[in-house]
Structure 1
Amino acid sequence: MSIFKHAADILEAKVNRLLSRAEEPAETLDLSYEKMLTSLQEGKRHLADVVTEQISLENQIAQAQKQAAKAEDNARMALNANREDLARSALAEKQAEAQKIAALQEAHDTVAAQARKLMDYEHALQDRIEQFHTQKEVMKSQMAAAQAQVKVTESLTGLGHGLDDAGDALRRAQDRTAQEQAKAQAMDGLLESGVINDPLDHRTQTEREMDKLRVTSGVDDDLARLKAEMTARQDG
């Protein structure tokens, strides 16, 4: 592999990773899930604010009711003391507190209805988030399995760059091995025919041929001797 092809492969891999990240469905699902959780937290904060306002109104209503009861007690006490003027003043305070209670109660009912709606929304959103989380994890698992299958199939079929390069390397090694084997056979043939000489062998071509003849003749003599000995044993 040339340095230019290697650099091109690296650049292609980086570009593919960037494109994959930009369109990664698993990351998109996780991001959607995080946004839903953020919406749920915001809903809870709004609900907490509304409930806080509801409790504040309830406390104000309770306080106004105490003031109204106190004003009535004061009116009764003033009448017992023959102070009708004080009784009227106390009853006027009671009426003011009653009007205040009515206004506070109306506001409380409105806030309480809003709180119930927010609670229903929160419960519905919580259920939806749980369903989405389950669906998200199932889809991510299926996606991961599919991607793994694609990678394995690419590797087995040679579609992947890794196995393709490995196949090229194996073919080059096989070709080189065949060339070296052919060269070795040619060298052996040339050495045997005397075209090239062993630098450590100082014999002439005639001497080498004679030595080979002697070896062959010696083998033939030993073979004939062994055959004769075996025949003599059988006859004996």
Structure 2
Amino acid sequence: MSIFQRMNDIINASINDLLDRVEDPERMIKQIIREMEDNIAQAKEGVIDAIASEKQLEKELERHRKQADNWHDKARQALANDKEELARSALAQKKEIDRIIENLEPSWESAAQTSQRLKKQLKALEQRLDEAKRKRTTLQARQRAAQARTQMSQTMDTFQNGLDAQHKFDRMEDKVSEMEARSEAIDELEDDNTPLEKEFLEMEIDQDIEAELAAMKKDLDK
């Protein structure tokens, strides 16, 4: 594949489409940029050669046109001096040069068209390179933003885990405080009861137990 066909392929390719088909867009676009830069360097050499050929043909064509004009002037001069044979020879030389000009003109026109086309392709390729570099900058910015969001998410998760742990500690502290308060209440209740009150309390408890036991026996006898 020629460098100029490769230029056409790159110019016609969509950078976004290329990036959508790969897993690592940033790596892909770096590769695209390197390839474009290499192709541009080669394309510039090709364009320089094409322009040089065009200029060379143009100079050659201009030189022969001047020769043709010169022989035309000589033929007129000879004819003015009644030297018809000499004028005829001069015109014969002019005709020979005219045939060379007829062959050179299409070659020069083709070379001029080629150099113009290649210059346009080179300019388009340079524009695509600029586009790829802008795309790389955008991708790098998006990647940094994504990394920042990921880091922030991880930080928030860590912070939330810390909050969850703190919440558990708070619940444990509340439970311990509740147990301490209950223990203090029992101690206070026991301190408030006199030995006589404790005896009546124990009697009431025994009565409750006997009553519940009697109820169970009654249910079993049914």
Give the structure-2-normalised TM-score. 0.54
Where in structure 2 are the equivalents of 1:117-128 lying within 5 Å?
117-128=117-128
* Number of the residue aligned with 1:141: 141
Q: CA deviation at 1:34?
A: 1.8
* Number of the residue aligned with 2:77: 77
Q: CA deviation at 1:67?
A: 0.5
| Cα distance in 2 between the residues matched to 1:87 and 1:79 | 6
* Number of the residue aligned with 2:4: none
* Number of the residue aligned with 2:47: 47
Q: CA deviation at 1:119?
A: 2.1
Where in structure 2 are the equivalents of 1:174-189 lying within 5 Å?
none
Secondary structure of 1:82's counterpart equals: coil
Which 5+ residue runs of structure 1 have no aligned equivalent? 1-22, 159-236
| Cα distance in 2 between the residues matched to 1:38 and 1:156 | 46
Where in structure 2 are the equivalents of 1:84-233 lying within 5 Å?
84-151=84-151, 153-154=153-154, 157=157
Q: CA deviation at 1:88?
A: 1.4
CA contact (8 A) 2:33 2:129 kept: yes
Q: CA deviation at 1:92?
A: 0.8
Partner deviation per Cα, 1:185-212 (whole Å, 9 max, x = no partner) = xxxxxxxxxxxxxxxxxxxxxxxxxxxx
Give the structure-1-normalised TM-score. 0.51
**How many equivalent pairs are there?**
136
Q: CA deviation at 1:52?
A: 1.1
Once the two structures are aligned, what percentage of the paired residues are identical?
Answer: 26
CA contact (8 A) 2:29 2:132 kept: no
| Cα distance in 2 between the residues matched to 1:32 and 1:120 | 20
| Cα distance in 2 between the residues matched to 1:150 and 1:110 | 58
Q: CA deviation at 1:71?
A: 0.8
* Number of the residue aligned with 1:57: 57
Q: CA deviation at 1:95?
A: 0.6
| Cα distance in 1 between the residues matched to 2:134 and 2:56 | 39
Q: CA RMSD in A?
A: 2.2
Q: CA deviation at 1:155?
A: 6.2
Q: Which residue identity is paired with 1:55?
A: K
Q: Which residue identity is paired with 1:95?
A: K
Larger CA deviation: 42-51 vs 142-151: 142-151
The structure whose RCO (Cα within 8 Å, separation 6+) is larger is: 2
| Cα distance in 2 between the residues matched to 1:155 and 1:39 | 45
| Cα distance in 1 between the residues matched to 2:81 and 2:108 | 38
Partner deviation per Cα, 1:144-171 (whole Å, 9 max, x = no partner) = 222343345446657xxxxxxxxxxxxx
Secondary structure of 1:52's counterpart equals: helix
* Number of the residue aligned with 1:37: 37
